[in-house]
Structure 1
Amino acid sequence: MILIGASLLMCMAGLVLVLAGKQESATAPAAETEDTFDPLASRRSRWTPEIIVKYLNGLGLNLAPAIVIAALVIESVLFVILAFAVELSLAFLAYVAMLLTTHLTLQALGTRQKRMLLLALPSFLNQVSRRLSSGVSVEHAFTDSMENIEGPLELAMRRIMQRVGLGLELHQAFEREARANGLKELLIISTALHINEQFGGSIRAVLDDIVHILRLDDQGKRELSAQTGETRITALVLSILPIAMIALLFSMNPEFLLQMWRDSFGKQLLVAAFAMQVLGVFSLWRLVRSI
């Protein structure tokens, strides 16, 4: 067990070194092109792994990377402790369950923040459109409208305007934020701004059409959520029911599961059941998320 714990710690140290090397190579000026350059990346700490930043941006989650790194370190330490306390197979399954739980929690938080951003986006674009009607420039209209917003949209707009202040065009800043968060709505705004910069026309009318499309899309999502409520509840019950049955059985007759765990074949069955439960919960979650 001591050799296993030492090897795990060495693997973690090697992973940190690899991530640090990738971060240094990613910040090298020769490796950056105009299409992938993001001026905000140069302001990050050189000790922040790029893979963690991309992971959080892909989830649309405004969270410090240090929190994710600390969670991974704590879970790895718990895995080493469990490897000394129980068998390695059980400790590995518990470690996988902790990682999966952390990922699902972060993804749920990111989805909630994306939803809040999209809910506030039509009102924000309406304010921009009203300021455009008074004769101000497009960039100033977006900047002035930031005074009345808060939450995830405010953070996203601050990052966009920081990119503009660091030398990017407004449509390029929207495009970077859309790629980072995976929000096609911001990419639509970027395309509209780019077309307006190249060919002219009424950007106010385009923004009004985008607001109308966003509100129709939100209405369609609400109707779909109401129609699939029974399916989502069924998936939740199917995910919780096996765990509840095991907990009830253990509370009524704990010796039964302990004897099964002491037997080699019974242990294989329990490990296989746990793995299938994790796989089933993940599959149901993916199916419900795609609705």
Structure 2
Amino acid sequence: MFALLTLLVFAGAIYLFVYAGQRARTEEVLMRLRAGDDAVASTVVTEGQVYNPVVRAACHLLWRAGSQAKPAQVATALLALLGLVPLTLLIFGWLKGLSVLFFAGLFAWFVLNRRAASRRARIVEQLPSYLEAVMRVLAAGNTLEEAIASAARESQDPLRSLFVSVGRQIRLGAPVDTVLAEAAEIHQIRDLRVLALAANINRKYGGTLRNVFRSLIQAIRMREAASRELRALTAETRFSAFVLAAIPIAVSAFIFFRNRAYYADILATSSGRVTLIVAVALQLIGMMVIWRMMKSASDSEA
């Protein structure tokens, strides 16, 4: 069984290595084709078009957290992490090794998601001011592409890095509505989807975007005010949820450090091991349910 797992990990490592090399060559070619005539522009791909589903999911998670890592770099990092899997299992054994890998992955995922949520909140907070700057540039007679790039240069991070990336892809020939739609999908910002839809309609049928921008600015500010009020009203409930999730973990840790023989006796029998596994599973399910409840509340704010 262990040999089969090692072979699977090795095969995955080879695949990621080949993919990283191909992606690096593709990016090098695209960098050389910045001149941007029409024949070249049709071949330009946007940053969101990563075809390997594992690499794409990792890239999107890192980009949401503010990383500027390229797909080739992410694939190389995943290759290195895959190489650590059999080594971890050899050092710690099956049960402890899988536990170490699971909790390490869970911790990394939690940290990246928290950073992504914080970054997304700052972007949405900065978006009304950015859209006002875009409207001023549009009023001066510039195109939407020029307005996006010009307003991005005057903005602050993290919104600046997001729209600088959008402007770079537009200069390489990608349609503005496609780039905005992919940015909305990657960063999970609904307001960018509205911008992408407005840009798509403007590109196909013409018309002014200033009324759409005004309505969107007003909607974002009203939603932010309602969100702050809702967070204040639900602060006690959110704290209670945190306490309910933390108490079982704190009690288990206290018992472990005060009387390690207690857990040794439990693990010595098959029924004790099953009971402990079921308890851990129920704790994780409870934490997931509480997290989903809180996330649904935050989604209703947006």
The TM-score normalised by the length of structure 1 is 0.80
Amino acid at match of 2:200: H
Cα distance 1:112–1:270, how it changes in 2: closer, same or farther (>3 A)? same
Query: Where does the alignment leave 5 or more consecutive residues of structure 2 unmatched?
Result: 27-43, 298-302
1:54–1:180 contact (8 Å) kept in structure 2: no
2:119–2:158 contact (8 Å) kept in structure 1: yes
Counterpart pick for 1:278 among 276, 279, 284: 284
Cα distance 1:8–1:201, how it changes in 2: closer, same or farther (>3 A)? same
Q: Using the TM superposition, name which of 113-122 and 62-71 deviates more.
A: 62-71
1:184 CA displacement: 1.9
Q: How many residues align?
A: 274
CA RMSD of aligned residues (A): 3.2
CA distance in 1, matches of 2:291, 2:83: 26
Amino acid at match of 2:280: F
1:20 CA displacement: 5.8
Q: Using the TM superposition, name which of 90-99 and 183-192 deviates more.
A: 90-99
Counterpart pick for 1:225 among 215, 231, 249: 231
Q: Aligned residue for 1:133? A: 139
Counterpart pick for 2:201 among 191, 195, 203: 195
The TM-score normalised by the length of structure 2 is 0.78
CA distance in 2, matches of 1:80, 1:122: 53
Amino acid at match of 1:103: W
1:121 CA displacement: 1.0
1:72 CA displacement: 6.0
1:39 and 2:46 aligned = yes
Q: Aligned residue for 2:152? A: 146
CA distance in 1, matches of 2:221, 2:85: 42
1:114 and 2:117 aligned = no
Cα distance per residue 1:116-164 (max 9 Å; x no partner): 1111111100111122223333222222111222323222212211221
1:122–1:214 contact (8 Å) kept in structure 2: yes
Q: Aligned residue for 1:82? A: 92
* 1:198 match: secondary structure: helix
Cα distance 1:225–1:56, how it changes in 2: closer, same or farther (>3 A)? farther
1:276 CA displacement: 2.1
1:1-291 pair list within 5 angstroms: 4=2, 6-19=3-16, 38-40=45-47, 51-57=54-60, 60-63=64-67, 64=69, 65=74, 74=84, 77-83=87-93, 88-291=94-297
Identity %: 23
* 1:39 match: secondary structure: coil
Cα distance 1:39–1:61, how it changes in 2: closer, same or farther (>3 A)? same
